[in-house]
A and B are shown apart, each in its own frame.
Chain A
Amino acid sequence: MDTFEPEPSLRSDETERRGDHEFTADSNPQLLSVSRRMNHTNKARKPISFPFSAIVGQDDMKNALVLASIDPTIGGVLVMGDRGTGKSTCVRGLAAVLPTVAIVEGCPYACHPTDWDQQCSECREAPAEKQTVRDVPVPVVDLPIGATEDRVVGSLDIEQALLFGKKRFEPGLLAKANRGFLYIDEINLLDDHLVDLLLDVAASGEHVVEREGLSVRHPARFVLIGSGNPEEGELRPQLLDRFGLSVDVTSPTDLAQRVEAVKRRDAFDRDKAAFAEQWQADETSLRERIVTARERLDAVEVPDDVLEYAARLCLAIGSDGLRGELTLLRSARALAAYEGASAVTAEMIRRVAPMTLCHRLRKDPLDDTSSNARIARVIDELASE
């Protein structure tokens, strides 16, 4: 059903006028063109976000996010807690702190300029000397809970089809999030099938679209961050344990902390630029620390006894499957890298154990002991053995 095979004459001039890249290779009619136009409306002016280092307290949440950005293979981060605890501020702040990424200019997937493995088919085929490389901020893509599937996975570009009879793929949020973060506030209110889909893509790093006669495959490596308020309903356990890290946040009950939080927020609201300036040094040093940690990550060793300790811990806690153990090791390694250590210690395993394992425990609804308390108990028991 090729009723809208592009007319060659129309294609060339119209495309030129729009300043778009055109990738419909004549040699390969199967290859789809891709809309380079994303967000044709409301070109987002990047607002200054509240500096990550200026967030008062909330160490668990901050640590989890930092570890996940040092090693994205740790998997997504789930942040659950009461309203008004700064969950979303923290996520947005993190992106601003991270180093920029180099991308192939004009690529809708923000492809890596050199790593062939991480490139879309167009970037792989394009001659390197024709590509311009540009540094851009790490993308943080918001996925609102009302999102429809076509916006998330991408769809046929209607306008292109209408105007020029072209069969183009209009990339969705998954494409935009490539090499960055996909953030879903109130993830517990999102349709289960969408959460499933996101976790699948996040795990494979690649997104395959088969819809509306389109067949597209593109890189989609992102860290999924979900937040929500447990009072509005829990996430299914099947989804829970697919997040690498999970932390609970609460409002500080310490007056000094609350006062400091309000004062900083107020100062920020009064004069964003000045406030950001004031925190610039902290932000820069955090950024450098993360960059260094990423560089040394591969060199961090995990001694055998630490490996064994991690395995015993997982067994004793009763977290099902290998996923927990793997995440535990990766997180501990990221922590070691972040702290400048050359090897993982048992102590580091203990520190990351709550955020890597608490959401993998079987819950007994009639037992009110918190998961963290159970983990702490097991750690104590192991220590006394």
Chain B
Amino acid sequence: MSAASTLSPTWAHAELVAALVAIDPWAIGGAVVKTRRGPVHDTWVDSLCALMAGRGPVVPVPVSTGAERLLGEIDVSATLAAGRIVEADGLLARADRGLLVVNNTGQFEPPFASALAAMLDRGEAARAAGGLSGVVNARSGLIVIDEGEDDDLSAAHRVLWDRLALRVDLAGLSHRDAVGILFEPETIEEARALRDRVTVDDEVVQGLCGAALAFGIVSGRAERLALEVARSLAALSGRTTVTKEDATRAAQLVLLPRAEQMPQSQSSEMDEGEAPEEEEVDPPPDQEPAVTEDQPPTEMENEQSSDRAPDEVVVEALAIDADLAALIAAPPADVARRMGASADGGRRPGARVGQNRGKPIGVMRPRSLGQSRLNIAATLRAAVPWQRLRRLQDAADLAGGPAQSRRIIVHPDDLRISRYREQESQTIIFLVDASGSTALTRLAETKGAVELLLSESYRRRDEVALVSFRGTGAEILLPPTRSLVRAKRQLARLPGGGGTPLASGLLAGLEIGVRVEASGRRPVFVVMSDGRPNIDLTGEAHRARARDDALKAARLVQARGWSSLFLDVSVRRSERGEELANKLGARYAFLPRPTSRSVADSVAGALVSASARS
């Protein structure tokens, strides 16, 4: 690895990832690459393609590709010409032994993600759609180019993320940093040849499993992927044994980005260890006053806090404590962000909301599913019963004879397009005023209401999201979910107190709503506040400006035409709340002492009237 003196460490990391992927794509699953389209993206993909030479094809998967396109579908023109079903290979089959590159701009449909997941797990994916059945065999890696801005992953995303070993964040790189390929394709070839012979001793396996446990990683895939990455790293260095360095590096590459917690009591371990200069461990981020509800988040974490055995085992097993500690002390920037988000119990892309404040939010790319697509199987099915009649008819009309009798005669009447079921499911976005002294009870009751709504909405499959605003900004406590389990986990801690930045809250909710709408669901806005904002959009305490900003934000929300509900939780009823509700275009309800039940009932009432209207 020759490196110029100015080589950006991020680029070096990105190129290492490309090399590791190229050595054996299927074994390590692949990588999630955070980047936008541009020269950096192009240079990286080019280098990846160069390294993949001699291994397998690199197949781009266009945006808005459905599962059928992946798994193979009926070849329309060939089928019509031949008069029998002719199949076109899907992208999975085409990328066998190579790489699929998926550009992810918004949502993955669950069937699409699921087909990819099956291929990554077992090298085969079942299909049962588009008139075709059977199993498609393929063993390729997957690169997801993640252009999305937010860290909230949909269910479909999480299914895939779990199976891809590596992460790269190219977002901060300038095109000058993207200096191109750092590995020789020959090096990769050699590593490939060597990889199968690389042996791993038990210590390494122990160390990786111990580290995974210490990081609070639940999925057993993590350590397996780390092991495969360690193997590739060894092969890349021309070795046939995985060393502790390889294992540590693999833990850094694979386990750290998945960490749900930092190993406990690392500092005391380090006192005895040999890395005293690594003491500048940052204080745990986000030391906010937080209500911790008694319920422990998961059994895992529970075990962790009460028992530091796994941690010790890492140390004993692999003596990677110093490296691990170094890693923890100075995690790569992207990891640090993630850790900050999850170390205290939930994802918090709240800071990001701030960047956009004050500006109207850009519109999401509309889903291409709106365009009607010809459904070949159904069309043929409609045409089939008439073939004999039509052939007779044709023969009579044209005296054309039986020459064209093998072709299918399709009339316009036969055409069938895929209809996409109108999603009637809704996403209830709670915006909760978490300011002031009563915030904690209000939040706790709202949490109860969220859980009640989720448990009562099985049939409708509604989702619920929760944004709280307090202090100087808003934060998303619960991204849209319909999982009661997830809501319970993420709402275990609820911070409260401080000023009332209502406008920021509304904009954060608006942003979620826009995304929700783009994914085909209907947002329902529920604002719980006393309607007395005192923090403006810039985060300053200024009552008049704060109110002005809030009213402006309310109008933006109102312009979307969503059904919304304003729950006035002030002690006494005032016109201010009603005015805000008016500006929001929301139904107004006065709820001075909100309880889980009363909030859930008000919302359920609003939902009923919303669906009655539409």
Judge: A and B partners, yes or no: yes
Chain A residue contacts of B16, Cβ below 8 A: none
Q: Cβ of A165 and Cβ of B128 under 8 Å apart? A: no
Interface residue? B486 (CB, 8 A): yes
Interface residue? B592 (CB, 8 A): no
Interface residues of A in 244-298 (CB under 8 A from B): 250-251, 253, 255, 258-259, 261-263, 265-266, 269
Question: How far in angstroms is the closest Cβ of chain B from A143?
Answer: 7
Interface residue? B133 (CB, 8 A): yes
Q: Cβ of B219 and Cβ of A255 under 8 Å apart? A: no
Q: Cβ of B110 and Cβ of A189 under 8 Å apart? A: yes
Question: How far in angstroms is the closest Cβ of chain B from A110?
Answer: 16
Interface residue? A186 (CB, 8 A): yes
Chain A residue contacts of B377, Cβ below 8 A: 150, 158
User: How far is it, in angstroms, between the C-alpha of A41 and the C-alpha of B133 when the chains are bound?
Assistant: 8
Interface residue? B503 (CB, 8 A): no
Q: Cβ of A231 and Cβ of B384 under 8 Å apart? A: no
Q: Cβ of A146 and Cβ of B380 under 8 Å apart? A: no
Chain A residue contacts of B419, Cβ below 8 A: none
User: How far is it, in angstroms, between the C-alpha of A150 and the C-alpha of B486 when the chains are bound?
Assistant: 34
User: How far is it, in angstroms, between the C-alpha of A82 and the C-alpha of B220 when the chains are bound?
Assistant: 9
In the complex, per-residue mask of B125-140: 1 if CB is within 8 Å of any chain A CB, else 0: 1111111111111000
Q: Cβ of A161 and Cβ of B384 under 8 Å apart? A: yes
Q: Cβ of B313 and Cβ of A368 under 8 Å apart? A: no
Interface size class of A (residues with CB under 8 A): 35 or more
Question: How far in angstroms is the closest Cβ of chain B from A188?
Answer: 9
User: How far is it, in angstroms, between the C-alpha of A266 and the C-alpha of B122 when the chains are bound?
Assistant: 14
Question: How far in angstroms is the closest Cβ of chain B from A226?
Answer: 14
Interface residue? B200 (CB, 8 A): yes
Interface residues of B in 287-310 (CB under 8 A from A): 295, 299-300, 303, 309-310
Chain B residue contacts of A40, Cβ below 8 A: 134
Q: Cβ of B128 and Cβ of A266 under 8 Å apart? A: no
Interface residue? B451 (CB, 8 A): yes
User: How far is it, in angstroms, between the C-alpha of A41 and the C-alpha of B87 when the chains are bound?
Assistant: 9
Question: How far in angstroms is the closest Cβ of chain B from A242?
Answer: 14
Q: Cβ of B115 and Cβ of A262 under 8 Å apart? A: no
Chain B residue contacts of A45, Cβ below 8 A: 137
Question: How far in angstroms is the closest Cβ of chain A from B150?
Answer: 18
Residue count of chain B within 8 Å CB distance of chain A: 88
Chain B residue contacts of A4, Cβ below 8 A: 384-385, 387-388
Q: Cβ of A163 and Cβ of B83 under 8 Å apart? A: yes
Q: Cβ of B299 and Cβ of A41 under 8 Å apart? A: no
B124 in complex: contacting residue of A47, A172, A234, CB < 8 Å: A47
Q: Cβ of A150 and Cβ of B131 under 8 Å apart? A: yes
Chain A residue at smallest Cβ distance from B453 = A365
Chain B residue contacts of A173, Cβ below 8 A: 128, 133
Chain A residue contacts of B67, Cβ below 8 A: 144, 146
Question: How far in angstroms is the closest Cβ of chain A from B138?
Answer: 10
Chain B residue at smallest Cβ distance from A5 = B388
User: How far is it, in angstroms, between the C-alpha of A294 and the C-alpha of B124 when the chains are bound?
Assistant: 32
Q: Cβ of B387 and Cβ of A165 under 8 Å apart? A: yes
Q: Cβ of A144 and Cβ of B128 under 8 Å apart? A: yes
Question: How far in angstroms is the closest Cβ of chain A from B394?
Answer: 15
Q: Cβ of A237 and Cβ of B162 under 8 Å apart? A: no
- With A83-B158, A253-B303 as contacts: A146 and B112 at CB distance below 8 Å: yes
B213 in complex: contacting residue of A85, A144, A253, A265, CB < 8 Å: A253
**A-B CB pair tally, cutoff 8 Å:** 216
Interface residues of B in 384-412 (CB under 8 A from A): 384-389, 408
Q: Cβ of A47 and Cβ of B123 under 8 Å apart? A: yes
Q: Cβ of B155 and Cβ of A266 under 8 Å apart? A: no
Interface residue? A230 (CB, 8 A): yes
A162 in complex: contacting residue of B227, B387, B481, CB < 8 Å: B387
A262 in complex: contacting residue of B72, B132, B224, B482, CB < 8 Å: B224
Chain B residue contacts of A259, Cβ below 8 A: 202, 205-206, 209
B115 in complex: contacting residue of A146, A231, A255, CB < 8 Å: A146
Question: How far in angstroms is the closest Cβ of chain A from B484?
Answer: 6
Interface residues of A in 75-128 (CB under 8 A from B): 82-86, 88, 92
Interface residue? B483 (CB, 8 A): yes
Interface residue? A383 (CB, 8 A): no
Q: Cβ of A146 and Cβ of B213 under 8 Å apart? A: no
Question: How far in angstroms is the closest Cβ of chain B from A332?
Answer: 28
Question: How far in angstroms is the closest Cβ of chain B from A42?
Answer: 5
User: How far is it, in angstroms, between the C-alpha of A161 and the C-alpha of B388 when the chains are bound?
Assistant: 10
- Which of B133, B155, B223, B380 neighbours the largest number of chain A CB atoms within 10 Å of its CB? B133
Chain B residue contacts of A266, Cβ below 8 A: 200, 205, 224, 227
Interface residue? B111 (CB, 8 A): yes
Chain A residue at smallest Cβ distance from B309 = A255
Interface residue? B455 (CB, 8 A): yes
Question: How far in angstroms is the closest Cβ of chain A from B310?
Answer: 6
Chain B residue contacts of A269, Cβ below 8 A: 27
Chain A residue contacts of B227, Cβ below 8 A: 262, 266
Interface residue? B185 (CB, 8 A): no
User: How far is it, in angstroms, between the C-alpha of A41 and the C-alpha of B84 when the chains are bound?
Assistant: 14
Question: How far in angstroms is the closest Cβ of chain A from B400?
Answer: 19
Chain A residue contacts of B454, Cβ below 8 A: 365
In the complex, per-residue mask of A153-187: 1 if CB is within 8 Å of any chain B CB, else 0: 00110110111010000001100000000000110
Q: Cβ of A258 and Cβ of B209 under 8 Å apart? A: yes
User: How far is it, in angstroms, between the C-alpha of A38 and the C-alpha of B128 when the chains are bound?
Assistant: 12
Chain A residue contacts of B27, Cβ below 8 A: 269
Interface residue? B221 (CB, 8 A): yes
User: How far is it, in angstroms, between the C-alpha of A155 and the C-alpha of B85 when the chains are bound?
Assistant: 15
- Which of A86, A88, A234 neighbours the largest number of chain B CB atoms within 10 Å of its CB? A234
User: How far is it, in angstroms, between the C-alpha of A381 and the C-alpha of B512 when the chains are bound?
Assistant: 48
Interface residue? A318 (CB, 8 A): no
Q: Cβ of A231 and Cβ of B485 under 8 Å apart? A: yes
Interface residues of B in 337-370 (CB under 8 A from A): none
Chain A residue contacts of B455, Cβ below 8 A: 363, 365
Interface residue? B114 (CB, 8 A): yes
Q: Cβ of B596 and Cβ of A3 under 8 Å apart? A: no
User: How far is it, in angstroms, between the C-alpha of A2 and the C-alpha of B452 when the chains are bound?
Assistant: 55
Interface residue? A145 (CB, 8 A): yes
Q: Cβ of B111 and Cβ of A365 under 8 Å apart? A: no
Q: Cβ of A84 and Cβ of B222 under 8 Å apart? A: yes
Interface residue? B542 (CB, 8 A): no
Interface residue? B118 (CB, 8 A): yes
Q: Cβ of B483 and Cβ of A3 under 8 Å apart? A: no
B155 in complex: contacting residue of A47, A151, A213, A232, CB < 8 Å: A232
User: How far is it, in angstroms, between the C-alpha of A34 and the C-alpha of B133 when the chains are bound?
Assistant: 16
Interface residue? B59 (CB, 8 A): no
Interface residues of A in 221-247 (CB under 8 A from B): 229-234, 236-238
- With A250-B299, A253-B300 as contacts: A158 and B134 at CB distance below 8 Å: no
Interface residues of B in 472-531 (CB under 8 A from A): 481-486, 488-489
In the complex, per-residue mask of B320-338: 1 if CB is within 8 Å of any chain A CB, else 0: 0000000000000000000
Interface residue? B212 (CB, 8 A): yes
Interface residue? A39 (CB, 8 A): yes
Given A146-B128, A165-B387, list of 15 further CB < 8 A pairs? A3-B385, A3-B388, A39-B134, A40-B134, A84-B222, A144-B125, A145-B114, A146-B110, A156-B384, A230-B483, A233-B155, A233-B482, A259-B202, A365-B455, A366-B451
Would you give 20 A-B contacts (Cβ < 8 Å), ordered by A? A3-B385, A4-B385, A40-B134, A47-B123, A83-B159, A84-B219, A143-B126, A144-B67, A144-B114, A146-B129, A158-B131, A158-B380, A232-B155, A234-B483, A251-B219, A255-B213, A258-B213, A262-B224, A366-B451, A366-B596
- 4 nearest interchain CB pairs? A146-B111, A84-B219, A365-B455, A151-B128
